[in-house]
Amino acid sequence: MTNERKRRRLAYPGDCWSTLWENHNTLANADRRPDKRNLSQRIEESDSSKGKDMEDPKSWSVKDQELVKELVDFLGINEDDRQFLRQLHGIAATYSKPMVEEFSSRILQHPNTREYYEKIDVPSLQEKITGWFQDLFLGEYGAEYAEKAMRIGKAHVRIGLPLRYPLAMWDLLVKYGEQVVAHSPKPKEAFRAFHKVLALSIALFIQAYEDSQLAHLSQFLGSERLVRRLLMEGH
Ligand code: HEM
């Protein structure tokens, strides 16, 4: 028995073993709790061992309004794309109804997704999803569009829906998008434009999940940068 253990044993004479056991657990848990200072130090040490001042990737600082601008640029969404899609906005309304029917029936057929639909007003949700599909053809993909897309993403974080399910709706959205763009005088170009905007929308959806995870972990660890660096170090 180490001196330290002997000392603690003496501090709990007689049959106070339960108190000692609690004390032991508290100490053991304290050891497991991440120490913010040590984590920062570990990261700094790791940086300097790589022999350079590690700069954070620039992408980490892109937030809010800048996000959608960056993604529109990244995807190369241009004025022609906006125009092709704008022309189809009215047509999209007709296809959004069968789209949302199939969307809901896929969710209801699978027990792991069905349970999310048990406590909600399904017709009202279907209306919102119809609107979301139509908005892909708005032709305006600025701050307002981004704010809405992120809010929708966050609604799914709040209900604890694993990200794989929204992503697994991709094929269905493409299927109905194809039917809409077939009405364009330039269907190939309109299809490419639709793909870009769908990718934009899904990217914002995913960003909402990442933001929420980073925000939660940052509360625990002190800063978003620390969380990001730790995730990198973990690999
Ligand atoms: C790309 C795929 C998806 C899109 C575009 C989408 C779209 C939407 C929209 C527009 C809303 C309304 C958000 C608001 O009130 O502002 C919503 C909420 C909701 N979605 Fe999705 N959704 C998707 C995937 C899924 C999947 C796979 C499920 C599976 C169960 C699901 C379940 C729900 C539920 C339960 C709500 C209500 C959340 C609440 O009560 O706040 N969604 N979704």
**What pLDDT score was predicted for residue 27?**
38
Task: Please work out whether the CB of residue 198 comes within 6 Å of at least one atom of ligand 1.
Answer: no
Per-residue pLDDT, 50: 62
Which atom of ligand 1 is found nearest the CA of 202?
Answer: 1
- Binding site membership of 152 for ligand 1 (Cβ less than 6 Å): yes
Asked if 140 contacts 193 with a C-beta cutoff of 8 angstroms, the reply is no
Q: Does residue 208 have its Cβ closer than 6 Å to ligand 1?
A: no
Report the greatest alpha carbon distance in the chain.
Answer: 90
Q: Which atom of ligand 1 is the closest one to the Cα of 115?
A: 30
For 110-146, the three-class secondary structure string (H helix, E strand, C coil) is CHHHHHHHCCCCHHHHHHHHHHHHHHCCCCCCCHHHH
pTM for the predicted model, two decimal places: 0.81
Nearest CA to ligand 1 atom 33: 156
Q: Which atom of ligand 1 is nearest to the CA of 151?
A: 16
What size, in residues, is the chain?
235
Ligand 1 geometric centre to CA of 36 (Å): 36
Residue type, 189: E
68: burial class by Cβ within 10 Å (0-12, 13-18, 19+)?
buried
Report domain 61-226's class. mainly alpha
Say if ligand 1 is within 6 A of residue 151 CB.
yes
Those residues of the chain that have pLDDT short of 50 are: 1-32
Half-sphere exposure of 181 toward its Cβ, with a 13 Å CA cutoff?
25
* Torsion region of 142: left, alpha or beta (phi above 0 gives left; psi -120 to 50 gives alpha): beta
Q: How far is the centre of ligand 1, averaged over its atoms, from the C-alpha of 221 (Å)?
A: 30
Report whether residue 132 contacts ligand 1, using a CB cutoff of 6 Å. Answer: yes
State both tokens at 190.
């309109």
Place of tokens 């934009």: 200
Long-range Cβ contact pairs of 99-105 (< 8 A, separation 24 or more): 99/130, 99/133, 99/172, 99/173, 99/176, 100/126, 100/129, 100/130, 100/133, 102/172, 102/176, 103/129, 103/169, 103/172
pLDDT in the model for residue 230: 85
All structural domains of the chain with their residue ranges? 3-53, 61-226
Report the C-alpha gap between 200 and 194 in whole angstroms. 10
**Is residue 198 a contact partner of residue 175, using CB atoms and an 8 Å limit?**
no
Q: Give ∠ CA 174-156-221 in degrees, rounded to 5.
A: 125
Regarding the beta carbon of 155 and ligand 1, being less than 6 Å apart is answered yes
pLDDT the model gives residue 10: 37
- Atom index in ligand 1 nearest the CA of residue 113 equals 30
Report how far ligand 1's centroid is from the alpha carbon of 212 (Å).
16
